Amino acid sequence: MNFLSAKLKGRLQDFTLDAAFEIPASGITALFGPSGCGKTTILRCLAGLERLDGYVRLKDDVWQDQGYFRPPHKRAIGYVFQEASLFPHMTVKQNLSYGMANPDKVHLHETADLLGVRELLDRIPDRLSGGERQRVAIGRALLSKPDILLMDEPLSALDRAAKTAIIPYLERLHAGLSIPVLYVSHDHSEVERLADHMLVMDKGRVISNGPLDEMLTDCSLPLASSREATSILEAEITGFDDKNVISLLTVKGATLQVPGALGPVNSRCRLRIAASDVSLASTHPSQTTILNVLPARILAVHDLGNAQFNILCALGDEDGGRILARISRLSLARFGFETGQDIFVQIKGVSMV
């Protein structure tokens, strides 16, 4: 049972939470939804800070069930908030050591290196930037050896530059972390870069739950209808064309050509394709400068209720990587695209995230 499962139901004054979900007990799960939909309440229930009816189980460890409620201090949880709540009178090193049962220098230094705070160990929090404080808070949470890390909009108090600077640390963390992370965020680009899985909430309920690529391209969810709609594809760099400086990236159902040396052959990366950068053709266009014209099958046609449609395609056949295309009502009327049809997707822009 490699899952975190929960069913939580109850009222907090005017607000009703009625949420049930099962998510992988590894990787980063983004908890996404509009303000006030209950994201923080879910984290607080998992941490035992709020008690509603239902159950919480991490793998085969029961934290809450009918008649049983494990108190917060007996749940091995790392909690990172919007604003880092460090002890102001303690140095970074003392802050990091705080939750460690047996302060272990090697482990502390490894974590400090991972988060780039090794040089800051003797400073006090007052003398740190917002991004540095947040990295220390993450380090402190990890050093308590939690079974799960709960992060509530950890970057939202940072300005754009500090956010951009901290994300690579979170990506490194992601690669090396064996515990699950539940990550609350409103920010599309943060989620695209960090999450593997996504829980989408609305008005106290979980409205969808699945792998990130499927959630981002699910036409019934608000994410795919937004202006920022994108597809995410996990890719392997399978070749490099020296002469033309083109990397070959193999995804499920296709190989893409992307200008530039994107990394060593055999390494993996994540690609981002904006729905507005994808157009469709019913036959293979013979004269085009677009590098990636790929056979695909239409999985769904979704009316956005204005001048535009979302067309969800799978590269190759229906098992291939999912690509969302945003096309005009006029183009749909001209070409009459429909579900099940084999077509070509033309991808104008691919970026690595």
Ligand X SMILES: Nc1ncnc2c1ncn2[C@@H]1O[C@H](COP(=O)(O)OP(=O)(O)OP(=O)(O)O)[C@@H](O)[C@H]1O
- Phi and psi of 210, rounded to 5°? 180, -175
Choose the binding region for ligand X from 28-36, 92-100, 269-277, 333-341 (rule: CB under 6 A).
28-36
Displacement of CA 281 from its chain's centroid (Å): 31
Interface with ligand X (CB under 6 A), residue from 41, 217, 231, 310: 41
Q: Which stretch binds ligand X (CB under 6 A): 35-43, 71-79, 95-103, 143-151?
A: 35-43
- Interface stretch with ligand X, choices 38-46, 90-98, 124-132, 188-196 (CB under 6 A): 38-46
Among 37, 216, 256, 327, binds ligand X (CB under 6 A): 37
Strand pairing report for 148-152 and 181-184: parallel
| Diameter over CA atoms, the chain | 69
Stretch that binds ligand X, among 11-19, 226-234, 297-305, 321-329 (CB under 6 A): 11-19
Q: Is 40 in the site for ligand X (CB under 6 A)?
A: yes
Smallest gap from Cβ 8 to ligand X, in A, equals 11
3-state SS class at 334? helix
- Following DSSP, what letter does each residue of 198-215 receive, concatenated? EEEEETTEEEEEEEHHHH
Q: Is there binding between residue 13 and ligand X (CB under 6 A)?
A: yes
| Residue 79: CB minimum distance to ligand X, A | 14
12 binds ligand X (CB under 6 A): yes
User: Contact between 38 and ligand X (CB under 6 A)?
Assistant: yes
Residues in the chain: 353
Among the residue ranges 7-15, 228-236, 256-264, 305-313, the one whose residues contact ligand X (CB under 6 A): 7-15
**Least Å from the CB of residue 153 to ligand X:** 7
Count residues binding ligand X (CB under 6 A).
11
DSSP assigned state of 299: E
Distance set, CA 67 to CA 21, 61, 217, 313 (Å):
20, 15, 40, 48
CA distance readout (Å), 69 to 8, 48, 54, 56, 301? 13, 8, 10, 9, 46
Q: Which two tokens stand for residue 19?
A: 């949420």
Q: Is 36 in the site for ligand X (CB under 6 A)?
A: yes
Q: How far is the CB of 85 from ligand X (least distance, A)?
A: 16
Task: Work out how close the CB of 82 gets to ligand X at its nearest, in angstroms, rounded to a whole number.
Answer: 8
* Kind plus residue range of the DSSP H or E element containing 328: strand 322-328
Residues at the contact surface with ligand X, assessed by CB under 6 A: 12-13, 15, 33, 35-41
